[in-house]
Structure 1
Amino acid sequence: MNITFKKLEVAAAVAKNGSIAGAAADLALSPSGVAAALDGLEAEIGVRIFDRRPAKGVALTPAGRDIVSNAEAILQDMDSFQENAINWIHSLSGVLHVGCFATFSPLFIPPVIREFTRRHPRVTIHIHEGSGEEIEKLIQSSSVDVALTYDFVLRQNLPRESLAPAPTHVVIAADAPEARQDLLRLAQLSELPMILFDQPVSRNYFLSLFREAKLTPKILYQTQNYQTVCELVGAGLGYSLLNLRPPAEHSYHGYRLVRRPLADQYSFPSVVLSYPAGKRRSRIVEVFGTLCRQHVRKVASEFTVSGS
């Protein structure tokens, strides 16, 4: 058999228009050319597809309905194949090393990578998580192509782009008396047991808030694990200070947590994209950066802590 896509396209167009003349106009062919293609297809298959009625157009035969239905499915598959082929030709390929501050990596990185790899499956991504100091070193050494981190952990003069503010908030157990207040002050918190998030740069930042207010927090426990902070707080053992608010309102053990803004005036960090200094940014990096901007700003707007 010599059944071409053009013959299938002609049969589908004739069925759609109900006439050879209509199909000829759609396909920019002569009516005789359409009729010849139909004759050739019917001869190849050995079945009459259309009943041709002079002055009344054409009508599908019972067998013709099945044949045209299959032809339309084949043509749709071909359109999809061509679209995928074009996307493949124009998609990116290569390797991308992404750094991320470990605390908020689960919040930002998976959705961004999922969308990026859907669009560009030929790019291999390596994730490098760490503390603020570790991420800074990775950027300085060009071990990563791009990194998501806080601006206050970048003590060196590294290129950065601010994406969203990350105001500090108080996280407390839902059944704590303080949970009934809309705003909390550092002076009030300094009288309560504190669960300190003990990542090096984060620790210094949170403690600096008390120093600037000439207060001393009562640190009961300290841990470098973000989730452990949430579990200790949820168990009613104290409060903590954190920045970005995650989407979950419950800890692993089912403790309900609430978050309240600080009433004090203070400086807070921003989430930034940072890049190695003096290194040309590839198209892969630029495209990944665009997705990061969109997702980080969306998350920041959805999970801003309010006093309600």
Structure 2
Amino acid sequence: MSSIPHVGFTLVQLRYFAAAAELGSMTAASRQLNVSQSAVSTAVAQLEKELGVQLLLRHHARGLTLTAAGEDFQRELRSYLEHTAELVEMARNAGEVLTGDLSVGCFSTLGPFELPRLVRACEAQHPEIRISVIEAEHAALKQSLRSGKCELALMYAYDLDDDIEYVEIKSVAPYALVSGGHRLARRTRISLRELADEPMVLLDLPHSGRYLEQLVQSAGVRPQVRHRSSGFETVRAMVGSGMGWSVLNQRPAHSLTYDGGEVVTLELEERFEPLPIVLASVKGVRLTRRARAFIGSARRAAHESR
């Protein structure tokens, strides 16, 4: 049997340090924790003494900043404290239903299509899990994962850095979108080359815009982008009003736009790889039971919808 290494610091010291580091102030941490400022200062000092390294730099009248060692320690500590909370929860709820809060990020254009179904699936199986949602674009979601604002993020599997890992939920193939009155609207399948001389309306979100432009270019077409919008429904409305064609991945259940226009989806003759939709998390961070339950129910829901 391997021996358990001796550590001289306490869970309280870790919690006090985490609060001070997050808030950048001993005073703010003491208010949040409802303890005296001296208690926080003493706990952090004892933790640094036990570890033999300085974690925080104290600046008179300017609060606290993390040292390089402190940044590394804080990053690992977040996972440790989450796991500690999970152990407590597991002990309290042994043999009972999962309970507690789960924060899930979601790429803005995916929300209306995927999020209600996945949240409903998880709540149906685990009604005591309280799910909150952060909707944002790609880069902001990655930052929210790293900062701990959300534990999981529903997003597309492109431009994911080495510190992000993911589980694929489903994949979606690109398609062309034209107005109901377009010359190709009665077709079911076209080549992007047939649209090469016409203006394009681009869904111009960070990462998404680049992905869509590169996709069109890979078909040998140089897109003539006439209009850009970060709004999915705005793109559809522009196409519906005859302002150009577009390429998208998500398919609404109806062909009408918000302003009453009509759009038609057309399959593409070009063979493009479907774009995976994933639940991403920070690599090396142990997921809570709630997060693992959400992933499990999401994968089942995606499988049942095929």
**Shift, 1:118, TM fit:** 4.2
The correspondence of residues 94-133 of structure 1 with structure 2, limited to 5 A, is 94-133=100-139
SS at match of 2:189: coil
Work out whether residues 250 and 257 of structure 1, in 8 Å CA contact, stay in contact via their aligned partners in 2.
Answer: yes
RMSD: 2.2
Residue in structure 1 matching 2:251, options 237, 245, 248: 245
Aligned residue for 2:215?
209
Aligned residue for 1:75?
none
Q: Distance in 2 between matches of 1:91 and 1:224?
A: 41
The yes-or-no answer on 1:169 pairing with 2:175 is yes
Q: Distance in 1 between matches of 2:262 and 2:202?
A: 19
The yes-or-no answer on 1:226 pairing with 2:232 is yes
Q: Distance in 1 between matches of 2:272 and 2:129?
A: 41
The correspondence of residues 57-96 of structure 1 with structure 2, limited to 5 A, is 90-96=96-102
Q: 1:154 to 1:175 in 2, by over 3 A?
A: same
More displaced 10-residue stretch of structure 1: 208-217 or 278-287? 208-217
- Amino acid corresponding to residue 238 of structure 2 in structure 1: L
SS at match of 2:282: coil
1:90-134 CA deviation, whole Å, 9 max, x = no partner? 222111010111101111112322343344343222201111222
Q: Distance in 1 between matches of 2:215 and 2:124?
A: 42
Q: May I ask how many residue pairs the two structures share in their alignment?
A: 214
Q: Where does structure 1 differ by over 4 angstroms across 4 or more consecutive aligned residues?
A: none
The yes-or-no answer on 1:235 pairing with 2:221 is no
Q: Percent identity?
A: 27
Q: 1:171 to 1:128 in 2, by over 3 A?
A: same
SS at match of 1:238: coil
SS at match of 1:178: coil
More helix as a share of residues: 1
Q: 1:268 to 1:122 in 2, by over 3 A?
A: closer
Q: Distance in 2 between matches of 1:271 and 1:98?
A: 14
Q: 1:198 to 1:106 in 2, by over 3 A?
A: same
TM (norm. structure 1) is: 0.64
**Shift, 1:261, TM fit:** 1.6
Aligned residue for 1:156?
162
More displaced 10-residue stretch of structure 1: 143-152 or 154-163? 154-163
Aligned residue for 1:64?
none
Q: Distance in 2 between matches of 1:242 and 1:227?
A: 11
Q: 1:166 to 1:219 in 2, by over 3 A?
A: same
Q: Distance in 2 between matches of 1:298 and 1:189?
A: 35
SS at match of 1:241: strand
SS at match of 2:190: coil
Query: Larger Cα Rg: Structure 1 or Structure 2?
Result: 1
SS at match of 1:180: coil
**Shift, 1:230, TM fit:** 1.0
**Shift, 1:250, TM fit:** 1.7
Q: Distance in 1 between matches of 2:116 and 2:106?
A: 11
SS at match of 2:173: coil
Structure 2, unaligned runs of 5 or more:
1-92
1:152-209 CA deviation, whole Å, 9 max, x = no partner? 1424342111222211111112221111222222222221111100001111011112
